[in-house]
Amino acid sequence: MDHHPCLYTQTHMDGDLGKLVFVTALILLHFGKYVGSDEPQVPCYFIFGDSLVDGGNNNHLETKWKANYLPYGIDFPQGYTGRFTNGRTSADIIGQFLGIDDFIPSYAIATIDQFSKGVNYASGGGGIQEESGHHNGDRVSLDRQLLNHNSTVSSLSRVAKNTTILKECIYVVNIGSNDYINNYLMVGKYYNTGQIYSKDQYAEVLTQQYSQQLRTLYNLGGRKIALFGLSHIGCIPYMLKRFSTNGKPCVGWINDVIDAFNYKLKALVDELNKDKSDARFTFINTAGILFAQGVFNEIYVYMIFFSERALQSPPCCQLTGDWACTLKSVPCPIRSLSVYFDAIHPTELSNMAIATRAYKAVLPTDAYPYDIYHLTKV
């Protein structure tokens, strides 16, 4: 692990923007350490997940889960592409760390010629469970994403006659948030899981289904698979508006619900690595990366985290409805001083924090048992 003295500082600014604890320039410096390798570190890179890593698969669906309009993409090189943030997603940034020249294309627009370098299957609103997110229209669940990947692998097999290269590729899976935000925590006419299951029971239901889906990915050739844990969604503006925090910065009981899933997901990583001895699954601790755990004043490392006060900062964009940015509205002028772009999704800076420490762990708790850099080596 690289260490550098005096790179961790605590910055307090006035007003709503003054609730972050970070040094933006240091993240950019840390980011620059890993970009620009002459050759890609892996032959291909596949992305599965939800709106946190969607690259545009929802653009042509009949759905309200869309972000293909300004101000989304205001800081992205290609403009508004369907990414639910102002710039790059964490998956985009990890791809750059891996030395991949271009952003991985969405399955909806990818060509057979592009399949061999990787595909992004992620879909806003999609979940581990098929039903999650259905109240807002179509979305591509993880089961359907795996069917799409099966089609990709079949196409590669017909063209290349050799798919063993898939075992050397990196697979990122970032999904599960909608199984809570737009299922378990949305008790009413659309969903009843929150009435049926305790937090531990629901976490068990999800991880059992997730386990089968990941075994399907293994059967399709995946061997180096990074599973992103869920963020503390009890801290997002959408949840702060819906539920009482009882005077705390976040809705604590919701974060307890999320922790129950993350605990089981980390245990699932151990189980899969034991069952599939030729595979390498790893857990990325998104909640631990984004939110401060303990006191780090004496740790001199490249680091970014957000204080509890920062979690109360408003979304960067004006909202229409519960969570989405208003069409063509003007967002906050300095996006690097916001944790959230809309009421659910992180800004590019937050995505950089996640991607940087997922790729090269700063703390032992960031990734288990490998960060993505070491995942490319095993």
Q: Active site residue: 50, 51, 336, 366, which one?
A: 51
Q: Active site residue: 149, 345, 350, 371, which one?
A: 345
345 is catalytic: yes
Six-digit token pair at 209? Answer: 């289904």
Nearest of 176, 149, 142, 127 to residue 284 by alpha carbon? 176
Task: Return the sign of the alpha-carbon dihedral for residues 35, 344, 22, 73.
Answer: positive
364: cis peptide before it, omega within 30°?
no
**3 state DSSP class of 28:** helix
Nearest-angstrom CA–CA distance, 16 and 8: 22
51 is catalytic: yes
DSSP string, 53-106: T--STTTTSSBS----STTTTTTSTT--SS-SSSS--HHHHHHHHTT-SSPPPB
135 is catalytic: no
The residues facing 257 across adjacent strands are none
The residues facing 227 across adjacent strands are 173, 283
Nearest-angstrom CA–CA distance, 199 and 14: 39
3-state helix, strand, coil in the chain (%, to 5): 40, 10, 50
Q: Active site residue: 54, 92, 179, 342, which one?
A: 342
Known catalytic residues are 51, 342, 345
